[in-house]
Chains A and B, each alone.
Chain A
Amino acid sequence: MAADTANEFGQVSRRVGIAFRYLLLASTLVGIVTLGFLLVYVFNDAIQPLSADPGWHLTFFLTLVLPGLATGWWCLQRGYATFTTGLVGFFLPVLASLYSGAIAALFIDVIPTLVWLAFVVAFAVPVGVFAILQQPTVDLPFLANVALIGGSAIGSLLVIPGLIQSFPTVPSGWVVLLITLGLPASLLLARNLSDRWGQRQGRIAGLVAFLAVGAAGPLGTATGFGAIPAVVLTLFAGVPTALYVAIVVTERPALRHGLLLPAVLVGGSLLGAALVSAVGFAGPESWVDWSFLTSTVQSGDAREVGIYPGIVGTVLLMFVVAVVSFPVGVGAAVYLEEYAPDNTFTRIVDVNISNLAGVPSVVYGLLGLGLFVRYGGARSGTLIVAGATLALLILPIIIISTREAIRSVPDSMRQASYGMGATRWQTVRNVVLPRAFPGILTGTILALSRAIGETAPLLVIGAAQVFGVPDSWSSTIGAMPLQLYVWASTYASPEFYTTVLAAGIVVLLTAMLTMNSIAIFVRNKYQQR
């Protein structure tokens, strides 16, 4: 009887639904699989893994891959948080080293350390004046404040650089970096860690960091690595890594096993390298090697060319783009979200910003050419022109993502602040911006990683197609994507396509993907709060 009733329900056909589901899956995979094929090809060309001795592969499989996988699996068993701790512990030093390399390149080739010192001191003076004026005991009218800060800024910028550069004796490059970067970083570290671990420990940590950075200078000279790279690497990669390890060990002891993962990965690579060189297994004839990364030669010879000028150009460009577009974009977004009245003008601006985000990048190139070169009188293809053009290009993206971030701040926060008698400025500064900041940062990094790959606007504004390392702010400049374009057009040959071009793509993609992963990391970290 019961069976009869059950049978009466019958079956409802799901065939269409199932077909639909797999169609959706297929359309999801089309793009990913195609791109995956391309990347495999490119990486194969760039790194040529098959050219290595089988013994080389076997050695690294046994020393690096197997232990790495085993440790990773073991960490996952202990918990996802342990695993991510290990991943961060591995990628933090790797990414930080990559970026320190770029920073070191700037100090070696582009900015003389003396000029850097001069400008740091020149900027420190108005900042000091500002700090003094912020003291509660100093009570000057607002306009007097502005005049003092502005006056000291202009005065020190005019006087101090010349003064410092005329000193009879000047400190060597790494000492300058130690004073201008290492000292403030150590002080900041000491202060922040004092809040977390107590004053004594914080001061010791700051002192240790400072001494480590200081010791790196002579050590770098002695080993032939170079004093400036050693100092930069210690400061931007060594100190953050040590700090991360220290924080995990002291504040999250439950997750400390995750640190085994980076230890195994690094140890495995070193062990593998030692074994391979001892036995004499040949490694792959990779095109992404030290000479490719550091060579400045631009010619048709695939063995000689290097991407170094492109890397330096891209780093400088990104710096200019960030400095120009971040304040302007965030400023516009804050105005539109927090201040702008709801009227026709605002709505026109609204619609047009969305449209501007979709304008083809070559049009921005023409805009830059017309605005900065024809009217502004700048030399075409210089760093400033290229940077400003790319900044215009990503401005709408920054504005849109910043507005999104500001809109996600709950209105109850603003109400609470206004209800306390805060002015609009106080509300924006104390409540809205701090809360929206992770979102703003993520959006900006993603926008920058779009700018890093742009070629068309650079071509239009006449950026150099064959270029060396820029040595001043007004020298013509190229960038990584432009270099790839030149390799694919001017020097086009089958050999170039399968070797140097692939290696260049790998470098460009690495730079872009690291930026994106930093953005994702920042977003996830602050979303958990």
Chain B
Amino acid sequence: MSGEASDEPYAAGPTAGLEGRDLEDRPEARTILESRDLSVFYGEEQALQSIDMEIPEKRVTAMIGPSGCGKSTYLRCINRMNDLIDVARVEGEMLFNGKDVYDDDVDPVALRRRIGMVFQQPNPFPKSIYDNVAYGLRLQDNTENLDEKVENALKKAALWDEVKDRLDESGLDLSGGQQQRLCIARAIAVDPEVVLMDEPASALDPVATSQIEDLIAEMAEEYTVVIVTHNMQQAARISDKTAVFLTGGELVEFDDTDKVFENPESDRVEDYITGKFG
């Protein structure tokens, strides 16, 4: 596995990440996702206020902010999960590889096959571990070498050693942290370009949380990871870029993580990060 390079900075204590991830040794990242003037309304209420953001490829981008600030809404705009909510309405552009995902000729189902998602509550299907991971592959009729692909996905999700002898047991029999890693394996089995994570560790205990964090750091070698989190230390530990949303659906600051945490431009962000509110 490709863990060694990234293990060292993130395995350390919560403050270690404040130096940010070491971006200098990597080439400048290409922008894979870009929102332009993106606003979202739930009925009359505006949940996001014309957000402009550029998310780099194969980096971890964190979105933090108090409850109800629109960070999850933004995440769900990326793979059009907001389409499932009847009252949600989106204005502006969300460019994925330069193509607006809200164009009429974009099939949201096809889009979601390229942009995977991991949810807050671990939500494996009540099927076997194997069938959970194979779910996306089977949806796409991509069943050649299925065993091998399932094994690879479980290995990438650092779950293989724990479950290799009981692949036909129900995914619901696993512990919470294992379930969440199973959900990550399920998301990356179809080899998406982007993995969206909506507070993936907030329902887990500290040990499981740190396993997930290690995993996210490794995933950034291959995938673009966009993660919503409540936990500022977590954002500081694992992300390359951080976006701070504040109440009202406003993007207040978006920059390299170490810059945001050490020297934020906005006073409100500084107040939020230092815990004066939120």
A-side residues, CB < 8 A to B, are 136, 341-342, 410, 412-413, 415-423, 426, 430-431, 434-435, 529
* B140–A421 touching, CB < 8 Å: yes
Q: Which residue of B lies closest to A426 (CB)?
A: B139
Q: Which residue of A lies closest to B111 (CB)?
A: A421
Interface-facing stretch out of B17-25, B121-129, B208-216: B121-129
CA distance A413 to B81 in the complex (A): 14
Highest count of chain B CB atoms <10 Å: which of A342, A418, A435: A418
CA distance A342 to B186 in the complex (A): 32
Residues in A neighbouring B123, C-beta threshold 8 A:
410, 412-413, 415-416
CB within 8 Å of A: which B205-232 residues: none
* B125–A416 touching, CB < 8 Å: yes
Determine if B109 is an interface residue (Cβ-Cβ < 8 Å): yes
CA distance A177 to B59 in the complex (A): 65
* B81–A415 touching, CB < 8 Å: yes
* B119–A423 touching, CB < 8 Å: no
Q: Which residue of B lies closest to A435 (CB)?
A: B126
Residues in B neighbouring A420, C-beta threshold 8 A:
112-113, 116-117, 135-136, 139, 186-187, 190
Given the known inter-chain contacts A413-B125, A416-B123, please indicate yes or no for A421 contacting B112, CB distance below 8 A: yes
Residues in A neighbouring B111, C-beta threshold 8 A:
421
Determine if B61 is an interface residue (Cβ-Cβ < 8 Å): no
- Residue from B119, B124, B126, B143 within 8 A of A419 (CB atoms): B119
CA distance A412 to B123 in the complex (A): 6
How far apart are B143's CB and chain A's nearest CB, in angstroms? 7
CA distance A392 to B116 in the complex (A): 44
Q: For the A-B complex with A422-B139, A430-B139 known, give 7 more contacts whose Cβ atoms are closer than 8 Å.
A: A415-B81, A417-B135, A419-B187, A420-B117, A420-B136, A430-B125, A435-B126
Determine if B242 is an interface residue (Cβ-Cβ < 8 Å): no
How far apart are A146's CB and chain B's nearest CB, in angstroms? 18
Pairs across A and B, CB under 8 Å, 16 listed? A136-B141, A412-B119, A416-B123, A416-B124, A419-B79, A419-B116, A419-B119, A419-B187, A420-B136, A421-B110, A421-B112, A430-B135, A430-B139, A431-B125, A434-B126, A529-B126
* A341–B135 touching, CB < 8 Å: no
CA distance A136 to B144 in the complex (A): 10
Chain B interface size band reads 20 to 34
**A-contact 0/1 string along B127-166, CB 8 Å cutoff:** 0000000011001110100000000000000000000000
Highest count of chain A CB atoms <10 Å: which of B110, B125, B141: B125
CB within 8 Å of A: which B78-121 residues: 79, 81, 84, 86, 109-114, 116-117, 119, 121
Determine if B183 is an interface residue (Cβ-Cβ < 8 Å): yes
CA distance A420 to B84 in the complex (A): 14
Residues in B neighbouring A410, C-beta threshold 8 A:
123
Residues in B neighbouring A421, C-beta threshold 8 A:
109-114, 136, 139-140, 190
CA distance A430 to B137 in the complex (A): 13
- Residue from B84, B140, B141, B190 within 8 A of A418 (CB atoms): B84
* B119–A415 touching, CB < 8 Å: yes
CA distance A290 to B40 in the complex (A): 74
CA distance A416 to B112 in the complex (A): 11
* B86–A341 touching, CB < 8 Å: yes
Residues in A neighbouring B170, C-beta threshold 8 A:
529
Residues in B neighbouring A412, C-beta threshold 8 A:
119, 121, 123
CA distance A418 to B82 in the complex (A): 11
Residues in A neighbouring B124, C-beta threshold 8 A:
416
How far apart are B202's CB and chain A's nearest CB, in angstroms? 14
How far apart are A420's CB and chain B's nearest CB, in angstroms? 4
* B117–A419 touching, CB < 8 Å: yes
How far apart are B119's CB and chain A's nearest CB, in angstroms? 6
* B109–A423 touching, CB < 8 Å: yes
- Residue from A136, A342, A423, A529 within 8 A of B86 (CB atoms): A342
How far apart are A346's CB and chain B's nearest CB, in angstroms? 12
CA distance A342 to B85 in the complex (A): 11
How far apart are A141's CB and chain B's nearest CB, in angstroms? 15
How far apart are B227's CB and chain A's nearest CB, in angstroms? 15
CA distance A417 to B116 in the complex (A): 11
Residues in B neighbouring A419, C-beta threshold 8 A:
79, 81, 112, 116-117, 119, 187
How far apart are A424's CB and chain B's nearest CB, in angstroms? 9
Highest count of chain B CB atoms <10 Å: which of A418, A419, A529: A419
* A416–B109 touching, CB < 8 Å: no
Residues in A neighbouring B86, C-beta threshold 8 A:
341-342
* A416–B119 touching, CB < 8 Å: yes
How far apart are B255's CB and chain A's nearest CB, in angstroms? 29
Q: Which residue of A lies closest to B144 (CB)?
A: A136
Residues in B neighbouring A435, C-beta threshold 8 A:
126
Residues in A neighbouring B183, C-beta threshold 8 A:
416
Q: Which residue of A lies closest to B79 (CB)?
A: A419
* B126–A418 touching, CB < 8 Å: no
How far apart are A216's CB and chain B's nearest CB, in angstroms? 35
Highest count of chain B CB atoms <10 Å: which of A342, A412, A420, A430: A420
How far apart are A145's CB and chain B's nearest CB, in angstroms? 14
CA distance A435 to B109 in the complex (A): 22
CA distance A83 to B181 in the complex (A): 40
CA distance A417 to B113 in the complex (A): 11
Residues in A neighbouring B186, C-beta threshold 8 A:
416, 420
CA distance A417 to B81 in the complex (A): 11
How far apart are A130's CB and chain B's nearest CB, in angstroms? 17
Residues in B neighbouring A426, C-beta threshold 8 A:
139
Highest count of chain A CB atoms <10 Å: which of B111, B112, B186: B112
Highest count of chain A CB atoms <10 Å: which of B119, B139, B140, B183: B139
* A422–B109 touching, CB < 8 Å: yes
Residues in B neighbouring A342, C-beta threshold 8 A:
86
* A136–B143 touching, CB < 8 Å: yes
CA distance A286 to B136 in the complex (A): 62
